Amino acid sequence: MLTIAGHDFGSRLFSGTGKFSDAATMLAALTASGSELVTLAMKRVDLARASDDILGPLRATGVKLLPNTAGARTAKEAIFAAELARDMLGTHWIKLEIHPDPKYLMPDPIETLGAARHLCEAGFVVLPYVHADPVLCRRLEEVGCAAVMPLASPIGSNQGLVSEAFLKIIIEQANVPVVIDAGLGAPSQACRAMEMGADAVLVNTAIASSRNPEAMARCFAEAVRAGRSAYLAGLGQVNATAVNTSPLTGFLQAGAPA
Amino acid sequence: MISIQLNGEPLAVPEHASLAAVLHERRLDPNAFALVLNAELVPRNRWQHIRCRAGDKLELFSAVAGG
C-alpha cells in the first residue's frame, strides 16, 4: 500500500484530467485506470463560454483530487493558485508546478523550492513537479514535501524515461514517495519506472491522446501493477557476459559416435 | 447602482450588494468557484459579509481539466 501524508492509495497509477476529447471519455478512462488520485488545474473563468463541468462528476467518483498550480511562473503565483484551490476544493493537497518556459515546460527549481517551503509551512501537503535532480529532491524533502514528482521527460512529450539514470538516484535516496511524472508515453515505460522502484507514476497525455483512452488507461494500470510486482520480486542481476542457464558438461561431445 | 468589474467585464450591481449576492444574481453556483477581490482571495465564508464598492475588480476562478 502506498501512503502519502497519511493517505493510503491502492493504485500506484495517478492520472491527469487534461486533453481528453470530452468529459465522458475522461471519466471512462479514469475509471479504467483505477486511479485514486487525479489532477486538476485552476483557471480564471470565461463567463462568456460554457464549459464542461468536470468537478461534479469527478467528486462523484470518490477519487482524491490533486489540484495543480499550472500556469504559475513564479513562487508567488503558485502560492496564490494553491490558496485558490484550497478554498475552492477544500483540499490541502497541491501539485506544485512552476514552469515559466512554454516550449519545454521545464520546472523552475529556485521558485519551486521557495514556494514549497512556504506552502509546507502554511500546512499544505505539497507534491512538487521537478526536474530529475537528486539534490533538489532532497532539498524539497527537507522543507517538508510529502512526495517528490520528478519528470521522466518533458510534459506531454511521450518520450519516456529520458532521465532514467537520475531517477534511479532519486529513488535510492528519497525518504518520501517518488512519483514519476511527465513524459511517460507507453505502458512499458510506466512498467519500467515501477520496476526501478518508483512509488507511483502520474500519466495524462499518453492516455488522453490515445485512440482509445479507456483501453489505454487499463493498459497503464496493468503495466504499473506488473512493474511494482517485478520490483518487489527483485529483478535479476545484469551481466556483461553470458551466464549459462543449462549445465555445460560437454556430455553431447562425450557421448557422440566416433 | 454602482459599477464593478466581473472577470474583466463591467457589471452594475446594487450599492452595498454582497459578493454572495452578485454571484446569486448572475446564477453562478458558489461551490464552483474561488473568488478574488482586487487581487486578494476572499474565503467563501466571508462572501456574505463583504460589500461591493464602486470600481471593485472581482475575479472568479474554477477547477478545470489539467495534468
Contact A70 B67 (CB under 8 A): yes
The arithmetic mean of pLDDT across residues A78-84, rounded, is: 96
ipTM above 0.85, yes or no: yes
With beta carbons less than 8 A apart as the criterion, state whether A126 and A144 touch: yes
A95 classed as catalytic? yes
Q: How confident is the model at residue A56 (pLDDT cuts 50, 70, 90)?
A: confident
The answer to whether B34 faces chain A, any CB pair under 8 Å, is: yes
Name which of A17, A19, A35, A47 to mutate to probe chain B: the one with the most chain B Cβ atoms within 10 A of its Cβ: A47
Mean pLDDT of chain A: 94
pLDDT of res. A55: 85
In angstroms, the CA A127 to CA A120 distance is 10
Name which of A103-107, A133-137, A213-217, B29-33 the model is least confident about: B29-33
Domain ranges of chain A: 13-45+52-231
- Active-site annotation holder among A43, A64, A95, A103: A95
Domain ranges of chain B: 2-61
pLDDT of res. B49: 94
**Residue from B64, B60, B48 nearest B11 by CA:** B60
Which of B26, B33, B67 lies nearest to residue A39, judging by beta carbons? Answer: B67
Domain B2-61, CATH 2.40.170.20 — does that match?
no
| CATH superfamily entry for domain A13-45+52-231 | Aldolase class I (3.20.20.70)
Work out the angle at residue A206's Cα, subtended by the Cα atoms of residues A78 and A181, and round it to the nearest 5 degrees: 40
